[in-house]
Amino acid sequence: MTERETWASRVGFILAAVGSAVGLGNIWQFPFQTGQNGGAAFIVVYLLAVLLIGFPAMLVEFVVGRRAERNPIDAFERLGHGDWKVVGIIGTATAFWILAFYSVVGGWVIRYIAGSATGAYFGRAEAYFNAVAAGPEAVVLHAAFMAVTVGIVALGVAGGIERATKFMVPSIVVLLLGLGVWAGTLEGAAAGYDYYLSPDVDALVSNIGTILPAAVGQAFFTLSLGMGAMVTYASYLGEDDSLPADGATIVVLNTLVGLLAGFVVFPILFALGVEPGSGGLGAAFITLAGAFAQLPAGRVLGVVFFVVLLLAALSSAISLLEVVTSYLVDNTRFSRPKLAVGLGTGIFLLGLPSAFGLSTLGWYNSVAYNLLLPLSVLLLLLFVGWVDTYDAVDELRRGTDIGSTFGLAWLWVVRTVVPLAVLVTLLLGIQTLAVNAGLLASPIV
Ligand code: PHE
């Protein structure tokens, strides 16, 4: 058997994981989720969800991955619990599923870089979106996005993923900072900041039933949890890294990028008097593109913004493809490039229906959000919290000098409050799916 690949450096691992976490979820979805859920109030709940649920859950994935040094499916056998393999299968299937439509959206982003450069959507933001979001063009760009993703993964863990994300993540931060500074100079920026930064506590309390699952779902998605991505990335770690320190760095950086995206998006929207959060999946593209069209230097800004979005989307997509690829690299004799191409083709085909209709894409997204992600996170929490308990705490402390108190506190939340919160999220998510499918006339809670 050939030796298993590893990251070339600890920084490389951290940047790759940040690259996975920072994606369409932060820059496209987060500001709009915030808009739809009442502004700053949502952010408060979201930050709590990231800290109290997301961070411990990320450490759960790290612990499993680093100790097993295997892909998320075989990891359970390695840890002596082969009967829990199904958890890894669900996570890996989720990665496959999400990448299928994520890549379609990635294709839109490519289209919008070109559209900004030529001003193609200026004055017709909505018509443009409807023309490019579904149909043959969307299919071609879906294929293009997938091809780049395959290309990077084919080059390997250190040679492809690590090298690409080392360049991508700093570029995202620098460009986004530049956009944020520029957005601050717009007239109306103050109103945007106000909306973004002052929570309306009454609205928070009365809407907690919808805000909570949205915030928890957003926390999982943005931290790349529930699809084996962090298990896989941690499986390529060397011995001596501190998982809590790495996890904290990744969580903080990811959150900062999301917040920074808000500092770009809200001033722009308020400068133009657009109500944040109106509309569905296409809203971000339509409103933002509409905004660029009206701003001085809109073409340049549009190009920069969508380039940031593309880098973010790519560095996330590669982590999804890596989950599935690592399983086959560990289990077959085919070369990594061959496997990446084969899997990329399969994922492309699965995504095709969502490239032909926006409502199909919305359905793919909602199955992932409402069912697959919370289910997969919940099962892994139960595994580490109740089945693999003692080894997990040892593993968390390996390579660090943190005391046993941190480990035990972590284990305690992983056994109790975190799975409970995820269970509630899952049940609410299933309810949403049932309502959307017409199986339930109206929500029970
Ligand atoms: N975290 C990514 C985002 O916010 C999405 C993603 C999820 C990527 C899961 C990889 C794995 O866009």
State the closest ligand 1 atom to the C-alpha of 313, by its place in the atom list counted from 1. Answer: 12
Rg of the chain, C-alpha, whole Å: 21
Q: Look at residue 2 and tell me if it is in a domain.
A: no
Which residue is closest in CA terms to ligand 1's atom 8? 316
Whether residue 345 has pLDDT greater than 70: yes
Q: What span, in angstroms and rounded, lies between the C-alpha atoms of 394 and 66?
A: 12
Which residue is closest in CA terms to ligand 1's atom 7? 224
Would you state the pLDDT for residue 281?
Answer: 66
Q: Work out the pLDDT band at 216, boundaries 50, 70, 90.
A: confident
Q: Look at residue 306 and tell me if it is in a domain.
A: yes
Q: Look at residue 5 and tell me if it is in a domain.
A: no
Which residue is closest in CA terms to ligand 1's atom 11? 224
State the closest ligand 1 atom to the C-alpha of 23, by its place in the atom list counted from 1. Answer: 12
Would you state the pLDDT for residue 377?
Answer: 94
State the closest ligand 1 atom to the C-alpha of 229, by its place in the atom list counted from 1. Answer: 11
Q: What span, in angstroms and rounded, lies between the C-alpha atoms of 346 and 332?
A: 17
Q: What is the extent of the structural domain holding 180?
A: 10-436
Q: Look at residue 445 and tell me if it is in a domain.
A: no
Q: Which of 26, 224, 321 to mutate to test the pocket of ligand 1 (most atoms within 8 A of CB)?
A: 224
Cβ neighbours of 163 (radius 10 Å): 17
Q: Which of 18, 231, 316 to mutate to test the pocket of ligand 1 (most atoms within 8 A of CB)?
A: 316
Would you state the pLDDT for residue 223?
Answer: 94
Q: Look at residue 1 and tell me if it is in a domain.
A: no
Q: Look at residue 317 and tell me if it is in a domain.
A: yes
User: Which residues contact ligand 1 via a Cβ below 6 A?
Assistant: 20-21, 23-26, 221-222, 224, 227, 229, 316, 319-320
User: What is the whole-number distance in angstroms between the Cα of residue 216 and the centre of ligand 1?
Assistant: 14
The average pLDDT across 306-324 equals 96
Q: Work out the pLDDT band at 280, boundaries 50, 70, 90.
A: low
CATH code assigned at 165: 1.20.1740
Q: Which of 222, 309, 323, 369 to mutate to test the pocket of ligand 1 (most atoms within 8 A of CB)?
A: 222
Q: Work out the pLDDT band at 117, boundaries 50, 70, 90.
A: very high
**C-alpha dist (Å) from residue 251 to 22, 58, 224, 287, 419:** 10, 9, 10, 29, 19
Segment 178-204, tens digit of pLDDT: 999 998 988 888 988 888 888 878 877
Whether residue 1 has pLDDT greater than 70: no
Cβ neighbours of 46 (radius 10 Å): 27
User: What is the whole-number distance in angstroms between the Cα of residue 215 and the centre of ligand 1?
Assistant: 15
% of the chain surpassing 70 pLDDT:
98
Q: Work out the pLDDT band at 2, boundaries 50, 70, 90.
A: low
The average pLDDT across 81-108 equals 95
Whether residue 13 has pLDDT greater than 60: yes
Whether residue 279 has pLDDT greater than 70: no
Would you state the pLDDT for residue 156?
Answer: 94
Whether residue 213 has pLDDT greater than 70: yes
User: What is the whole-number distance in angstroms between the Cα of residue 43 and the centre of ligand 1?
Assistant: 19
Q: Look at residue 310 and tell me if it is in a domain.
A: yes
Would you state the pLDDT for residue 277?
Answer: 64
Would you state the pLDDT for residue 125?
Answer: 86
Q: What span, in angstroms and rounded, lies between the C-alpha atoms of 289 and 371?
A: 31
The average pLDDT across 198-223 equals 82
State the closest ligand 1 atom to the C-alpha of 223, by its place in the atom list counted from 1. Answer: 1
Q: Look at residue 130 and tell me if it is in a domain.
A: yes
Q: What is the mean pLDDT of the chain?
A: 90
Q: How many domains does the chain have?
A: 1
Q: Would you call 277 helix, strand, or coil by DSSP?
A: coil
Angle between helix axes 163-184 and 298-331 (nearest 10 degrees) is 150
